[in-house]
Every structure is written in structure tokens, then in C-alpha cells.
Chain A
């Protein structure tokens, strides 16, 4: 990714919900220190598209701050991975927040964005 996001702090996370299902998102905005990372999906091949927006970027649509966003806010992006699947499409983006290990997965499927947190295995159970 050409956009420089390493070492930047996440100030806010906002989403546009998918039309019929609020578990998936149509668009995701990561508000960083001096820019906004705008994540959408290419609807012809389900690849993730990243755009850099001005930090004052505003949309006419109402953006929602999802409940889980508090887990990311104030975190620093240490590393990221752009992943290619078996068919050669970039449909997975992984962020390492506050550590260089993957912590958040952003995945695109059926023109929608799905986000999952990666939790460590508790080996002391």
C-alpha cells in the first residue's frame, strides 16, 4: 500500500453499514493522525480498495461509530499485511495495532467488509 500509515495513531473508526445486514459494512474509515484511510470493496472481484482522504474529509451520509471501535482507538499501527488469496486477489488486510503481531483482520466478501479481531490463545487454561 502506498499510503503511509505506520506509526500513526487511530483517532476514530467509522463505518457505513451494509444495507440489509449491520454485521457487515459497505465502507470503513480509519481516522488517523493526519489522514483518513478509506476502505471500500471492488464489487466486480471483491478486492479491498484503499484510498487516502484528507483528515477533514466529510461525507453526506451519516457515519456510525461501531461499538467495537473503542478497542482500536488510541492504538498505534505497528505493522500491516496486504494478503493475497489462492486466486491472486487482495481481499484481506491485517493490522498490527500496538504490537507487531496481527490484531485486526479486514476482509471483503460479497461487496461487503467484515472485521474480526485476532485474540491470542490462552495457553494457561
Chain B
């Protein structure tokens, strides 16, 4: 994780195409020199009107591509961090894995656009070279990544801190007697209550590997998919017949 903080040196060079300084090309040409500026000079001022939309499109694409890189690198950095700091501690590593899977399920956080992508998909993506920008601009990816981590920490505390987040008052009410299951994942919980894995087909996939406590927290806030997840958990097995 120590490499992630060295963002100053690359800040200037990537500011132009990050998209965060504004999407208008005419605005960015007035800012400090960088990759985008050179592109503007190369194309000439006269062409900028016609090329603006195209350049914006390329920038948007580049940003999306880098965002994928951010998420992949972030996950790998987290794995390394947990592996070194919690060396030989099986429980802690299990916890780290769980929090990673939780992170993996964050829906479309701040344009990361990963949605319901699973870890295996992310890893496959990382292994392939269909996204050369990620590899050719490692520094830029790191810069954006550190931004994304800060954003995650600030706005997605519940996800970022994974299974260690304490139960909220609402979650306790939602869970009721199932409070002691809050550390299990939703998938494990459904199986533990006598359900089948197929019961989860009606629940959004990004919830499957979240802990029950987190799903309950979302359900208490009125998140429809999480409420369905809690319902499936509570009614995992068929009710005994009266007759």
C-alpha cells in the first residue's frame, strides 16, 4: 500500500485526462500543461470544436478503463496488506477475505462500474491484456486508485470496513432472534437455516457474500434487494405443516 501515496509526482501529468477537472476540452486547455494540453496543441485550436465530442468520448473511455485498473490494483494491494500484516493468523485472513468479497459487491461505487463483478472475473480481467491503458499508465492508475480508496473510506464505510462494522440499531431490529448470525455471510446463513443454495436465486448477487449484519443494515434503510435477502434468510426452510 505504500506506493499508493506517492501521487504528487503524477498528479500534474494525469490531471488533464482524469475527467475530474471538467469534461469540457476548452476548459482543460487553459489549465497547466499535461497530456491533454499537448493533444489540444497537436490538433490545433480550429479543430477543437469538431473534435471536442470525440476527445470527450476518448477521455470517458480512458477513465472507465483506468477505473477498472484501480479496482483490480486496490484489491491486490488489500490482499498483500492483509497477507503481510495478518501473517499466519487464520482468523484474520478469513476476515480479510470476507471484507474483500464485501468490497467486491459494492454496486457501482463512484463510477467504478463493477456492479456485480465477482473476484474471479476481476482476476481474469487483470490477467488478460485487453486493457493496455491499465498497464501502460500504472502511475496514473495508482493516482486514481488512491482517490478511489479515499472515496470508499469516506462514503462507503460500511463496505470498506467489511465484516468488522458493528451492527446498527436498525439492523438489530431487522435481525431479531437471528442477531447471533450477523457474522455469517448471507449464503452461509441461508444454508445454516436449512435452506438450499438455490433459494438465493431471487436475491441480488452482490449481497450473497456480504455478512448478514451488513445486509440487515441495508434492509433497515429500506434497500429493497437487501430486504428480500433478509426475507429469504428468515424463511430459508419450509415451515412445518400443521396437519
Chain B: minimal CB distance from A24 (Å): 6
Q: How far is the CA of A114 from the CA of B226 in the complex (A)?
A: 15
Mask: chain A, 66-92; 1 = CB below 8 Å from B; 0 = not: 000000000000000000010111010
Report whether A20 and B221 are in contact in the complex, using a CB–CB cutoff of 8 Å.
Answer: yes
What is the minimal beta-carbon distance from B152 to any residue of chain A, in angstroms? 22
Determine if A100 is an interface residue (Cβ-Cβ < 8 Å). no
Check A110 against B174 for contact (C-beta < 8 Å). yes
| Given A20-B170, A88-B241, A89-B239, also A44-B234 (CB < 8 A) | yes
Query: Could you mark each residue 160-202 of chain B with 1 if its beta carbon is under 8 Å from any beta carbon of chain A, else 0?
Result: 0000000011100111111000000000000000000000000
Known contacts A85-B235, A87-B237, then 14 further A-B pairs from the complex at CB < 8 Å, ordered by chain A residue: A18-B170, A19-B220, A21-B220, A23-B222, A43-B175, A44-B177, A45-B239, A46-B231, A88-B238, A91-B235, A109-B230, A109-B231, A110-B231, A112-B174
B173 touches A43 (CB 8 A): yes
B222 touches A20 (CB 8 A): yes
Across the interface, which residues of B come within 8 angstroms of A19, CB to CB?
A: 169-170, 173, 220
Distance (Å) between the CB of A86 and the closest chain B CB? 9
CB pair A111 B176 closer than 8 Å: yes
22 pairs, CB–CB < 8 Å, chain A vs chain B: A18-B220, A18-B222, A19-B169, A19-B170, A19-B173, A20-B168, A20-B170, A20-B221, A21-B170, A24-B222, A43-B177, A44-B234, A46-B234, A87-B238, A88-B239, A88-B240, A110-B174, A110-B216, A110-B226, A110-B227, A110-B231, A111-B230
Q: Nearest-CB distance from A93 to chain B (Å)?
A: 16
CB distance from A118 to the nearest CB of B (A): 19
Give the residues from 6 to 49 in chain A that come closer than 8 angstroms, CB to CB, to chain B: 18-21, 23-24, 26, 43-46
Could you tell me which A residues sit within 8 Å of B by CB distance?
18-21, 23-24, 26, 43-46, 85, 87-89, 91, 109-112
On chain B, which size bracket covers the interface? 20 to 34
In the complex, what distance in Å separates the CA atom of A111 from the CA atom of B216? Answer: 10
By beta carbon, the residue of chain B nearest A114 is B227
In the complex formed, the residue of B with least CB distance to A21 is: B222
Distance, CA A66 to CA B169, complexed state (A): 24
Of all chain A residues, the one with the shortest Cβ separation from B217 is A20
For A20, the chain B residues whose CB sits under 8 A away are 168, 170, 220-222
In the complex, whether B70 has a CB less than 8 A from a CB of chain A is no
Q: How far is the CA of A20 from the CA of B231 in the complex (A)?
A: 18
Question: Using Cβ atoms and an 8 Å threshold, which residues of chain B touch A85?
Answer: 235
Whether B131 is near chain A, meaning CB under 8 Å from some CB there, is no
- Enumerate chain A residues within 8 angstroms of B220, measured Cβ to Cβ: 18-21, 110
Q: What residues on B are CB-neighbors of A23 within 8 Å?
A: 222
Which of A43, A88, A110 counts the most B-chain CB atoms under 10 A from its CB?
Answer: A110
9 nearest A-B residue pairs (beta carbon): A43-B176, A88-B239, A21-B222, A110-B230, A20-B170, A44-B177, A110-B219, A110-B227, A87-B235
